[in-house]
């Protein structure tokens, strides 16, 4: 790669679209962010608009290139990532409504967001088939995946509306379609979210599975809506899509027609691309690039955690490892011939925000933080240290010795795969002060970290050897969040050089691969940049207290199950 080459990464998250420009050394030189709109008419319904998403992508790309003082000639490749949300289109590639509130008349609402849980019943019925395909999603498909949502559409749309759906795409694949006009799908989206079995696992789409779950119509039409080998092809991450940017997409993005576009990935996987290969030293980087076993030796003990509204946990291994309640193993969805497992938490950043916004003291705390030009998190972190000093405690964590939260307010994604679970708080009082707000905030961080430990232990029991967390996402700007994860899991944490920009950097790596033809792992290692390394606390008393907190976490889970059995008359 020449020093004159630059690559654009485009990331569509839950609440925003962002574009970043990296140079040929992997350094993020500019980033631009625009909010996108989500419609949430009911607690379990979340919808978006591809028109709104693409318009904001165009703004961010133009601004990122402009602020980097570059021209379209400097941009040699483009990569996309996005949330695993379902997109509905007609045979001309135009939006088709997924909105039951409008009677499926509002075609601007053509995206079912990943967080939408309208398809819980469909997921339950799919899981009841116990079909072999479900082995590759931890034996339990999630209502957040595309096939339960597709079944919901078939069962709830008027027949004429259902018949008008020509394309059902994962959002990352829609973005490359919009950019190139090519209907190729990504191995990442199809395998992770659409019940597709890639080569050396299966024969692509399994007809018996779709017939068993009530989607036999897709078999009869030769999968034309879902895509695949007979409808556009299936590409690995970063493979060049079509002939690059179309004239229309190039004009909208302010780039050159024909600029190579890499096959997209789900946003969490872009975070993994940016972080799993990142190293803190040249020696380690050289080793990972030149040793034939580097990917095999590094993959199974590193866990990428992309921390945002929700959190995703991605690990690689050279062989398939089956972990109940953890999605996968997925073959070749990141690096060809490697297997990925994907755990996750449905609500993390969202849960922290909920804890804060529902507390009586939040307005007072925000006002005080604003006066000192502090974020609410920095303000609460400092307030916790003040309370520790005033109460003469040996560690901040002692403030929540008898305050515990179980965090599944939006159901459990991993390792239990139970969307019906809910949150629990033990140890609350009538205290309405900032002191209590700070304590609940700390207990929420601890709960999220305990659940991460639950996921890691479930994976390690089956064959992984995870001891290093490669964190990225906005939550990682919070040092208390990061240290709490390191302490409770007893894992080393590696942060990326650009914490908030890691996912968009990973998307840019896809553009670099499409432009240069390098192997993705080589791009990940040669361009990946590590920032700080955080070690877990090794004080024995602290470790024992964190272990006790984790025991309480597991006990609260079992208590919830027991209470449900009592109320259902089973005990």
For 217-246, give one letter per residue: b (16+ CB within 10 A) or e: ebeeeebbbbbbeebbbbbbbbbbbbebbb
Distance CA 313, CA 307 (A): 9
Q: What is the pLDDT of residue 290?
A: 65
- Under the banding of pLDDT at 50, 70 and 90, the label for residue 164 is very high
Share above pLDDT 70 across residues of the chain, in percent, rounded to a whole number = 97
363-379: average pLDDT: 98
Share above pLDDT 90 across residues of the chain, in percent, rounded to a whole number = 88
What is the CA angle 460-466-467, rounded to 5?
130
Note the pLDDT tens digit of each residue in 75-100: 999 999 999 999 999 999 999 999 99
The CA distances from residue 544 to 44, 288, 541, 549, in Å, are 39, 35, 5, 9
**Has this prediction a pTM greater than 0.85?**
yes
494-503: average pLDDT: 90
Q: Is the pLDDT of residue 292 over 90?
A: no
Q: Among residues 390, 346, 384, which one has the least CA distance to residue 484?
A: 384
Round the average pLDDT of the chain to a whole number and report it.
94
CA 256 to chain centre: 30
Q: CA quadruple 566, 568, 569, 571: dihedral positive or negative?
A: negative
Q: What is the pLDDT of residue 294?
A: 65
Which residue ranges form the domains of the chain, and what is each CATH number? 6-260 (3.30.420.40), 349-453+541-567 (1.20.58.2240)
Q: Is the pLDDT of residue 406 over 80?
A: yes
Q: What is the pLDDT of residue 296?
A: 64
Q: Is the pLDDT of residue 1 over 60?
A: no
Q: Which pair of structure tokens corresponds to residue 530?
A: 């590590």
CB 170 within 8 A of CB 149: no
- Under the banding of pLDDT at 50, 70 and 90, the label for residue 2 is very low
Q: Is the pLDDT of residue 287 over 80?
A: no
468-479: average pLDDT: 93
CB 285 within 8 A of CB 100: no
Strand partners, 408: none
- Under the banding of pLDDT at 50, 70 and 90, the label for residue 291 is low
- Under the banding of pLDDT at 50, 70 and 90, the label for residue 119 is very high
């Amino acid at each position: 790669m020449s020093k004159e080459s630059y690559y654009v990464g485009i990331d569509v998250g839950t609440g925003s679209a962002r574009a970043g420009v990296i140079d040929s050394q992997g350094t993020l030189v500019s980033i631009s962010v625009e909010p996108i709109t989500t419609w949430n008419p009911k607690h379990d319904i979340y919808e978006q608009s591809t028109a709104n998403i693409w318009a904001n992508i165009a703004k961010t790309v133009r601004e990122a290139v402009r602020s980097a003082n570059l021209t379209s000639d400097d941009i040699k490749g483009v990569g996309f990532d996005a949330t695993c949300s379902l997109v509905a289109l007609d045979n001309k590639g135009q939006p088709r409504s997924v909105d039951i509130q409008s009677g499926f008349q509002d075609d601007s609402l053509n995206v079912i967001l990943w967080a939408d849980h309208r398809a819980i019943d469909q997921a339950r019925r799919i899981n009841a088939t116990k079909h072999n395909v479900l082995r590759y999603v931890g034996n339990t498909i999630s209502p957040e995946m595309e096939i339960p949502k597709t079944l919901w559409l078939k069962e709830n749309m008027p027949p004429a509306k259902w018949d008008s759906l020509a394309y059902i795409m994962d959002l990352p694949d829609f973005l490359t379609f919009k950019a190139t006009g090519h209907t190729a799908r990504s191995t990442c989206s199809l395998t992770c979210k659409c019940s597709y079995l890639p080569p050396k696992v299966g024969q692509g789409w399994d007809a018996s599975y779709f017939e068993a779950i009530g989607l036999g119509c897709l078999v009869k039409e030769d999968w034309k809506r879902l895509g695949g080998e007979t409808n556009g092809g299936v590409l690995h991450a970063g493979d060049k899509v079509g002939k690059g940017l179309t004239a229309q997409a190039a004009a909208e993005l302010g780039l050159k027609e024909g600029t190579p576009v890499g096959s997209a990935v789900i946003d969490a996987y872009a975070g993994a691309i940016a972080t799993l290969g990142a190293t803190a030293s040249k020696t380690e980087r050289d080793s990972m690039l030149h040793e034939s076993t580097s990917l095999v030796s590094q993959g199974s003990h590193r866990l990428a955690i992309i921390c945002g509204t929700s959190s995703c946990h991605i690990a690689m291994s050279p062989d398939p490892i089956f972990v109940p309640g953890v999605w996968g193993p997925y073959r070749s969805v990141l690096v060809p011939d490697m297997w990925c497992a994907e755990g996750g938490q449905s609500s993390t950043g969202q849960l922290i925000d909920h804890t804060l916004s529902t507390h009586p003291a939040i307005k007072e705390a925000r006002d005080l933080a604003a006066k000192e030009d502090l974020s609410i998190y920095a303000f609460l972190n400092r307030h916790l240290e003040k309370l520790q000093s005033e109460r003469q405690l040996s560690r901040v964590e002692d403030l929540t010795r008898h305050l515990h939260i179980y965090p599944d307010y939006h159901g459990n994604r991993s390792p239990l795969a139970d969307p019906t679970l809910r949150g629990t708080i033990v140890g609350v009082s009538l205290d309405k002060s900032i002191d209590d707000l700070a304590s609940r905030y700390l207990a929420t961080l601890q709960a999220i970290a305990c659940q991460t430990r639950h996921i890691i232990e479930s994976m390690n029991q089956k064959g992984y050897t995870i001891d290093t967390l490669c964190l990225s996402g906005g939550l990682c700007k919070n040092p208390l969040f990061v240290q709490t994860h390191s302490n409770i899991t007893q894992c080393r944490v590696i942060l990326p050089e650009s914490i908030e920009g890691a996912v968009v950097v990973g998307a840019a790596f896809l553009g670099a691969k499409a432009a240069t033809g390098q192997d993705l792992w080589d791009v990940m290692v040669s361009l990946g940049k590590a920032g700080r390394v955080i070690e877990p606390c090794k004080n024995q008393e602290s470790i024992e207290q964190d272990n006790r907190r984790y025991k309480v976490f597991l006990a609260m889970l079992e208590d919830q199950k027991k209470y449900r059995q009592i109320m259902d008359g089973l005990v």
